[in-house]
């Protein structure tokens, strides 16, 4: 039986402290009324256009990520513990990146296998020797955390490239405050609304040094067909910065310029939401039309800051993940506060044979996969699926890792049959610039299908508002 | 502001205006074919010509069937000026510039798009049309109202205004040009019930059948109708009114950017022609020629503005 965030382990007996008010509130509601509210919320989301694009059948459609109106609650004490662990991890991740793009001490010390880094497709040799402002590579990080009991939290993965979902965190809160103001009067919920301001301050703080004027910041999007376009426009809007596409930028006279109604205007910081490979066709994928030719040379010369830095993906590679306890200890001198999920690297022969024999009990993931694709959940997979995966893993063991299936915690969720427990995770968002800024809570994703452990929005996951209560 | 942003704002407003004009043209066409005469084909031909899509229509259909025309002007995705395409394009432009427009504008437009799809999911019947067309005009009004009430009076506003009024001027001029022969003074002598209906239809197609009475008070006289739609500064869809707004927007841009708008010269020239014109002279020189020159000048101004503000560099 999974740990339930509201009722603990003993089902139905006692409501855990952080959920006391939620429990009282739910008692007073009937399903019909809740469902009406839920539809109201959905209409609101659709009108605002908080959609993501789903591609299939050759046609893109806009869908909503389902929103569940029962919030997920963390106590102040729980959050203190988590945030200490998150801060430690974010510093370690950045120290790791600085190191592997400079002296590579950790490789020399043999704490992380050299080939795992150097031959990794996420490792960017062009970044070696570059000094990004303040030595930061990943300014915006999302850390996926799952809970298995009252006191056990695990990091499932780190997102150090271009983590998304923060707009949902903000819109979910807006919607909840709009629909259930009473709940916010009876609970002291830590606000999240200053995230855009914090993001802007973070971006300003890593502008190239020595500018005469306030730095000009832009958000670089692949365009409105990207599945996260809503978020791009949302963030640009809330920060009051221009939302640009590659075609709006040009490198000329040793500067990055954007094409405005009055001609060219210098740009100093690029918050990019396009992948490394598309940034600069001269350095990366030459066929890319999304990026800006010459951008990387400017970056190398320190004329413009790219956030997150190219090559930051090395730190969230799933094969590097298994070394995170060593990485945290190596750079912070202390054991990792947040625990890793035990991970088998199929590139290691002893791990490989264990994985092949026990696949039915494991979650097997592609090292470079994301979005919940390319993975196998052993306990729910058919015999055939398992056999197929065994073949795949045998063929390219270096491409796979495996983890034991965790009993992810559940939270009451409004589903067709009424209110029922559903599994969830948590993605807190961290900003690192002149200082670290951690928004209380983050994005809670919930698997809406009964028993499902896959919370990804592309696979039927929804979201919840996430509350951190204040003392 | 990005040049691309200016371009998108201009076209967002332009398409929204066009959607409304299409709806109104359809409404008038619908009304005319209900009249007891057998000029149905001709009516639809001139409606399509006013909409500027006669050629496109004839590529797809060989006859002027009421249901086909409705389908083409309302729902056809291949027709870039159908209400469907206009709303879709306006929304695409707005979505690309979510950061530049206000929440109210976006929600007005996005709501219209969602509702339009819902209302047309099942092909509307002839009986559904009046309500549907009325609703489209309402959406456009709501969008413009949201814009006027919420937007900062900066370049965002000025580019949207330019899109609206260049489109509106083009639309009014085209309606007049297609129907100019019923406005010629000698036609007054013809003066039968059918001509009255034609004149009423022209006024109706620019939402002016009631306001006309307030301004001229007498029965429909063709030169009054022409005067009302071209030179009268009170009439919000007249060519003159459009150019008053265009000049104001360009002057506003010049002020906002602290750099006079180069296109202001051309706009002011047209505005002054309209301000100093009188219908007698225009009729003498030829109404059709006047309107053709006007439409060409209007297009030229649009491309001058696009070039001056780097719409598509």
* Distance (Å) of CA A192 to CA A28, A188, A203, A468: 27, 13, 18, 10
DSSP assignment of B164-216 equals HHHHHHHHHHHHHHHTHHHHSTTHHHH--HHHHHHHHHHHHHTT-TTHHHHHH
**Statement to judge: residues A40 and A136 lie in one domain:** yes
**Statement to judge: residues A223 and A356 lie in one domain:** no
Tell me the C-alpha distance between A352 and A210, whole Å: 52
Tell me the C-alpha distance between A238 and B103, whole Å: 12
Indicate the pLDDT class of residue A452, thresholds 50, 70 and 90. Answer: confident
Look at chain A and report how many structural domains it folds into. 3
Residue A67 pLDDT > 90: yes
**Statement to judge: residues A228 and A243 lie in one domain:** yes
Among B2, B98, B111, beta carbon nearest to A258: B2
**Statement to judge: residues A28 and A88 lie in one domain:** yes
Of A95-99, A205-209, A445-449, B25-29, the one with minimum mean pLDDT is: B25-29
Indicate the pLDDT class of residue B203, thresholds 50, 70 and 90. Answer: confident
Residues recorded for chain B: 313
pLDDT tens digits, A250-268: 999 999 999 999 999 999 9
Nearest alpha carbon to residue A22 among A187, A192, A190, A188: A187
pTM: 0.86
Task: Tell me the average pLDDT of chain A.
Answer: 91
- What pLDDT is stored for residue B219 in this prediction? 64
Residue A288 pLDDT > 90: no
H/E/C letters for each residue in A343-385?
CEECCCHHHHHHHHHCHHHEEEEECCCCCCCCEEEHHHCCHHH
- What pLDDT is stored for residue B129 in this prediction? 87
Cβ distance B4 to A242 less than 8 Å, yes or no, reads no
Nearest alpha carbon to residue B135 among B113, B166, B165, B107: B113
- What pLDDT is stored for residue A53 in this prediction? 60
**Statement to judge: residues A245 and A115 lie in one domain:** no
pLDDT tens digits, B7-22: 999 999 999 999 999 9
Residues of chain B with Cβ-Cβ distance to A230 below 8 Å are 98
How do the domains of chain B map onto residue ranges?
1-151, 153-313
Of A404, A428, A443, the residue at which a domain comes to its end is A404
Which backbone phi and psi does A271 adopt, to 5 degrees? -85, 105
Nearest CA in chain A to B91: A49
**Statement to judge: residues A101 and A169 lie in one domain:** yes
Of A4-8, A437-441, B24-28, the one with minimum mean pLDDT is: B24-28
Residue A11 lies in a domain: no
pLDDT tens digits, B96-135: 888 889 988 998 998 899 899 999 988 888 888 889 999 9
pLDDT tens digits, A166-185: 999 999 999 999 999 999 99
Cβ distance B2 to A46 less than 8 Å, yes or no, reads no
- CB-CB contact of B136 with B202 (8 Å): no
Min distance A232 CA to chain B CA atoms (Å): 9
Indicate the pLDDT class of residue A56, thresholds 50, 70 and 90. Answer: very low
Strands A461-468 and A67-74: parallel
Range of the domain at A255: 209-303
- What pLDDT is stored for residue A370 in this prediction? 60
Tell me the C-alpha distance between A280 and A291, whole Å: 5
- CB-CB contact of A430 with A436 (8 Å): yes
Residues of chain B with Cβ-Cβ distance to A49 below 8 Å are 95, 98, 106, 110
Residue A130 lies in a domain: yes
Residue A8 lies in a domain: no
**Statement to judge: residues A314 and A236 lie in one domain:** no
User: To the nearest 5 percent, what fractions of chain A are helix, strand and coil?
Assistant: 35, 25, 35
Of A279, A303, A327, the residue at which a domain comes to its end is A303
Stronger pLDDT, A406 or A11, i.e. the higher one = A406
Q: Please state whether the peptide bond connecting residue A308 to the residue before it is cis, i.e. omega within 30 degrees of 0.
A: yes
- A195 vs B: CB within 8 A: no
Indicate the pLDDT class of residue A59, thresholds 50, 70 and 90. Answer: very low
Residue A363 pLDDT > 60: yes
- CB-CB contact of A41 with A67 (8 Å): yes
Give buried/exposed letters for A331-345 (b at 16+ CB in 10 A, else e).
Answer: bbeeebbbebbebbb
Of A274, A303, A332, the residue at which a domain comes to its end is A303
Q: What is the CATH number of the domain that holds A375?
A: 3.30.1490.270
Q: Which residues pair with A402 in a beta bridge?
A: A344, A364
- What pLDDT is stored for residue A371 in this prediction? 58
Tell me the C-alpha distance between A445 and A413, whole Å: 11
Task: Tell me the average pLDDT of chain B.
Answer: 89
Q: Which residues pair with A271 in a beta bridge?
A: A219, A307
Give buried/exposed letters for B52-89 (b at 16+ CB in 10 A, else e).
Answer: bbbebbeeeeeebeeebbbbbbbbbeebebbbbbbbbb
Cβ distance A48 to B103 less than 8 Å, yes or no, reads yes
Residues 24-63 of A with CB under 8 A from B: 46-49
- What pLDDT is stored for residue A347 in this prediction? 87
**Statement to judge: residues A177 and A222 lie in one domain:** no
Q: What is the CATH number of the domain that holds A255?
A: 3.40.50.11290
Cβ-based interface (< 8 Å): residues of B facing A: 1-6, 92, 95-99, 103, 106-107, 110-111, 114, 155, 257, 259, 309-310, 313
Residues of chain B with Cβ-Cβ distance to A220 below 8 Å are none
Among B3, B103, B107, beta carbon nearest to A261: B3
Global ipTM: 0.80
Residue A17 pLDDT > 90: yes
- CB-CB contact of B250 with B10 (8 Å): no
**Statement to judge: residues A21 and A106 lie in one domain:** yes
Sign of the Cα pseudo-torsion (A67, A70, A72, A76, in order): positive
pLDDT tens digits, B255-302: 999 999 999 999 999 999 999 999 889 988 888 899 999 999 999 999
Eight-state DSSP code of residue B2: B
Within a 10 A sphere around the Cβ of A148, how many other Cβ atoms?
15
Indicate the pLDDT class of residue A57, thresholds 50, 70 and 90. Answer: very low
């Amino acid at each position: 039986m999974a740990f339930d965030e509201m009722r603990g382990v003993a089902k139905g007996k006692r409501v855990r402290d952080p959920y006391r008010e939620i429990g009282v509130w739910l008692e007073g509601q009937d399903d019909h009324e809740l469902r009406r509210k839920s539809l109201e919320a959905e209409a609101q989301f659709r009108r605002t256009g908080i959609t993501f694009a789903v591609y299939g059948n050759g046609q893109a459609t806009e869908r909503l990520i389902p929103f569940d109106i029962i919030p997920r609650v963390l106590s102040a004490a729980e959050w203190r513990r988590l945030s200490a662990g998150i801060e430690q991890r974010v510093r370690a991740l950045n120290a790791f990146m600085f190191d592997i793009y400079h002296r590579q001490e950790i490789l020399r010390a043999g704490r992380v296998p050299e080939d795992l880094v150097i031959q990794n497709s996420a490792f960017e040799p062009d970044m070696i020797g570059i000094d990004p402002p303040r030595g930061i590579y990943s300014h915006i990080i999302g850390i996926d955390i799952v809970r298995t009991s009252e006191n056990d939290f695990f990091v499932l993965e780190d997102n150090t490239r271009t983590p998304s979902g923060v707009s949902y965190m903000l819109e979910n809160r807006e919607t909840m405050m709009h629909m259930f103001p009473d709940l916010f009067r009876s609970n002291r919920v830590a606000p999240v609304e200053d995230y855009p301001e914090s993001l802007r301050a973070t971006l300003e703080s890593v502008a190239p040094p020595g500018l005469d004027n306030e730095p000009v910041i832009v958000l670089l999007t692949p365009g409105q067909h990207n599945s996260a376009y809503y978020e791009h426009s949302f963030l640009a809007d809330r920060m009051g910065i221009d939302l640009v596409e590659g075609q709006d930028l040009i490198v000329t006279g040793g500067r990055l310029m954007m094409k405005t109604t009055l001609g060219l205007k210098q740009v100093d910081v690029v918050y990019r939401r396009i992948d490394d490979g598309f940034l600069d066709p001269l350095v990366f994928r030459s066929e890319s039309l999304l990026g800006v030719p010459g951008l990387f040379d400017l970056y190398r010369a320190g004329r413009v800051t790219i956030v997150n830095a190219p090559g930051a993906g090395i730190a969230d590679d799933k094969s590097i993940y298994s070394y995170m306890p060593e990485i945290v200890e190596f750079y912070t001198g202390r054991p990792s506060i947040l625990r890793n999920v035990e991970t088998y690297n199929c590139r290691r022969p002893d791990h490989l044979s264990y994985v092949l024999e026990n696949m039915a009990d494991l979650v097997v993931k592609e090292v470079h996969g994301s979005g919940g694709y390319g993975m196998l959940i052993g306990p729910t997979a058919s015999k055939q699926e398992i056999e197929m995966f065994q073949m795949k893993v045998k063929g390219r063991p270096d491409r796979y890792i495996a983890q034991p299936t965790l009993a992810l915690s559940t939270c009451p969720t409004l589903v067709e049959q009424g209110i029922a427990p559903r599994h969830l995770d948590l993605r807190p968002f961290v900003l690192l610039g002149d200082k670290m800024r951690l928004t209380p809570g983050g994005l809670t994703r919930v698997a809406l299908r009964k028993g499902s452990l896959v919370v990804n929005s592309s696979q039927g996951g929804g979201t919840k508002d996430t509350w951190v209560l204040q003392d | 502001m990005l040049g691309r942003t200016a371009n998108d704002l201009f076209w967002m407003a332009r398409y929204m205006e066009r959607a409304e004009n299409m709806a109104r043209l359809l409404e008038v066409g619908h009304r005319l074919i209900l009249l007891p005469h057998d000029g149905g084909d001709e009516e639809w031909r001139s409606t399509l010509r006013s909409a500027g899509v006669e050629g496109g229509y004839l590529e797809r259909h060989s006859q002027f069937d009421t249901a086909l025309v409705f389908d083409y002007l309302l729902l056809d995705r291949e027709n870039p000026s159908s209400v469907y395409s206009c709303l879709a394009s306006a929304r695409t432009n707005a979505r690309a510039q979510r950061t530049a427009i206000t929440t109210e504008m976006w929600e007005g437009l996005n709501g219209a798009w969602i509702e339009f799809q819902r209302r047309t999911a099942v092909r509307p019947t002839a009986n559904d049309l009046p309500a549907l067309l009325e609703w489209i005009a309402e959406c456009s009004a709501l969008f413009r109202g949201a814009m006027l009430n919420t937007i900062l009076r900066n370049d965002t506003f000025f580019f949207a205004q330019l899109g609206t009024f260049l489109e509106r001027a083009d639309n009014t001029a085209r309606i007049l040009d297609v129907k100019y022969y019923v406005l010629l003074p000698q036609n007054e002598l013809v003066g039968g019930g059918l001509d009255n209906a034609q004149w009423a239809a022209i006024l109706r197609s620019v939402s002016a059948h009631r306001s006309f009475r307030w301004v001229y008070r007498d029965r429909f006289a063709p030169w009054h109708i022409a005067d009302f739609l071209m030179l009268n500064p009170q009439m919000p869809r007249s060519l003159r009114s459009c150019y008053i707004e265009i000049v104001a927007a360009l002057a506003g841009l010049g002020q906002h950017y602290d750099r006079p708008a180069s296109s202001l010269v051309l706009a002011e020239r047209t505005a002054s022609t309209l301000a100093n014109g009188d219908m007698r002279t225009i009729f003498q020189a030829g109404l059709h020629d006047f309107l053709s020159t006007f439409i060409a000048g209007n297009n030229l101004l649009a491309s001058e503005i696009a070039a001056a503000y780097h719409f598509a560099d």
